[in-house]
Amino acid sequence: MIGSVPEPAPDGTVGTAPGIFPFIGHGIDLARRPLAFLNSLPEHGDLVEIRLGPQRAWMACHPALVHQVLMDPRTFDKGGPLYDRLRTLLGDGVGTCRHQDHRRQRRLLQPEFRKARVADHVRLVGEEVESVCHAWRAGQAVDISATMLDLSTRVVSRVLFSDSLGAATAAEMRSCLATVVRGMFVRTVMPVDALFRVPTSANRRYRHASDRLRAIVDAAIAKRRRNSPHDNRDDLLGTLLAATRADGGGTPITDREVHGQVMTLLFAGAESTALCLSSALELLGRHPEEERRLHSEVDAVLASGQPPGSDDLPRLVRTRCILTETLRHRPPGWLFTRVTTQETELAGYLLPKGATVMFSPYLLHHVPTLFPDPDHFLPDRWLPGQAVAVPPGAMIPFGAGSRKCIGETLALAEATVAVAFIARHWRLRHLPGHTERLHPAASLGPRGLVMVSEPRAGRPVGTPPRADSHVPGTTAVPVVHDSRTAGGNDVRDT
pLDDT tens-digit series, residues 172-201: 887 888 788 777 767 766 656 777 778 888
Average confidence (pLDDT) over 345-361 = 95
Pairing of strands 349-351, 344-346: antiparallel
Q: Which residue has the higher pLDDT, 94 or 23?
A: 94
Q: Which residue has the higher pLDDT, 144 or 13?
A: 144
The model's confidence at residue 482, banded by pLDDT at 50, 70 and 90, is very low
Whether residue 171 has pLDDT greater than 70 = yes
**Is-cis flag, bond preceding 229, omega within 30?**
yes
The model's confidence at residue 490, banded by pLDDT at 50, 70 and 90, is very low
Q: How high is the pLDDT of residue 454?
A: 96
Least confident of 114-128, 447-461, 468-482: 468-482
Cβ–Cβ < 8 Å for 432, 461: no
The model's confidence at residue 12, banded by pLDDT at 50, 70 and 90, is very low
Distance of CA 320 to the CA centre of its chain: 17
CA distances from 290 to 28, 299, 319, 321 (A): 37, 14, 10, 10
Whether residue 130 has pLDDT greater than 90 = yes
Q: How high is the pLDDT of residue 466?
A: 42
Contacts of 260 (CB under 8 A, 6+ apart): 90, 91, 92, 93, 96, 97
Q: How confident is the prediction for the chain on average, in pLDDT?
A: 83
Average confidence (pLDDT) over 111-139 = 91
In the chain, what percentage of residues exceed pLDDT 70? 81
Q: How high is the pLDDT of residue 127?
A: 94
Cβ–Cβ < 8 Å for 302, 417: no
Average confidence (pLDDT) over 400-404 = 94
Q: Out of 19-28, 94-103, 217-226, give the one with best mean pLDDT.
A: 94-103
Q: What is the pLDDT of residues 278-296, one digit of tens each?
A: 999 999 999 999 999 999 9
Can you count the helices (H) and strands (E) in the chain?
16, 12
Whether residue 2 has pLDDT greater than 90 = no
Q: How high is the pLDDT of residue 243?
A: 87
The model's confidence at residue 460, banded by pLDDT at 50, 70 and 90, is very low
Q: 0.85 exceeded by the pTM?
A: no
Whether residue 32 has pLDDT greater than 80 = no
State how far the Cα of 390 lies from the Cα of 410, in Å rounded to an integer.
Answer: 24
